[in-house]
Copies of this chain bind each other. A is one copy, B any other.
Amino acid sequence: MSGLFHDLERSSSGARVAIGELLTAARWNADGLIPAIAQQHDSGEVLMMAWMNRAALEETLATGRVCYWSRSRQAFWRKGETSGQQQHLVEARLDCDGDTLLLKVDQSGPACHTGRRHCFYLRLTPEFGEVDSNPLISPETLYGQKR
C-alpha cells in the first residue's frame, strides 16, 4: 500500500491532499479500474456497484453526473445516457487503502438494467436464492429498440 494512505490513516479529520496526488496513489487494478459503490444519498439504499477508471472519476467529480467505465463495452458509461435514469453525484469517497469508491448519489427511477430500483434483488439463504423485488419499469420501456 502506498505510503500516502499510511500517512492519511494517521491524520486527523481535516487533513487534505491534492486530488492529483491522491488519484496517482490510488490502487487501480491491472485494468486501471476501481470498484465504485453507488448509494442513494438520502435513503441509504445501496443501488449498484460498477467500475471507474481515473478519467471516469475525474469527469464525475468535475461534472457531478456519474460516469462509469463499462468493462463489457470498453467505453465510458454515463449512467442514464440510454435509459434516461440519471445518477447525480452528491458526495464521493475513497476508502482507507485507496482501492474502493463510495458514491452518494441521487438516482432517478431504477438504477438496475432490469428496471428494478437496485441491483441486489437476489436474497441468499443457506438453501436458496430468492428474487425479492419486481421491476418499476420494464427493460423494454427503459431501453426501447436499443437493447
Contacts and interface: CB of A to CB of B under 8 A. Distances in A.
Interface in A50-82: 58, 61-62
A78 B58 CA distance: 35
6 contacts: A13-B131, A19-B124, A19-B125, A22-B122, A48-B95, A93-B123
Interface residues of A, number: 55
Interface in A123-139: 123-134, 139
Interface in A9-42: 9, 11-19, 22, 35, 37, 39
Copies in the complex: 2
B134 A119 contact: no
Contacts of A100: 35, 49, 119-120
A123 to B, nearest CB: 6
Contacts of A131: 8, 11-16
Contacts of A96: 112-114, 116, 119, 121-122
